[in-house]
Amino acid sequence: MDTPNSFLFLCLGNICRSPMAHYLAQDMLGDDVFCDSAGLYGETGSPATADARKAMRLEFGIDMSKHIAKHLNKINLNEFDAIICLDEEVYKHLVNKVPAQKLLNWHVEDPYYYDYNVYVQCSYEIRNKLLTLKPNK
Is 31 catalytic? The answer is: no
What span, in angstroms and rounded, lies between the C-alpha atoms of 42 and 64? 18
Is 87 catalytic? The answer is: no
Amino acid identity of residue 109, one-letter, is E
* Phi, psi (rounded to 5 degrees) for 13: -115, -5
How big is the CA angle at 61 (ends 110 and 135), to the nearest 5 degrees?
Answer: 75
- Catalytic one of 16, 17, 35, 36: 17
Is 16 catalytic? The answer is: no
- Catalytic one of 27, 81, 110, 127: 110
Hey, CA dihedral for 87, 89, 90, 94, is it positive or negative?
positive
Q: How many CB atoms lie within 10 A of CB 33?
A: 19
- Catalytic one of 11, 16, 35, 122: 11
Q: Which residues are catalytic?
A: 11, 17, 110
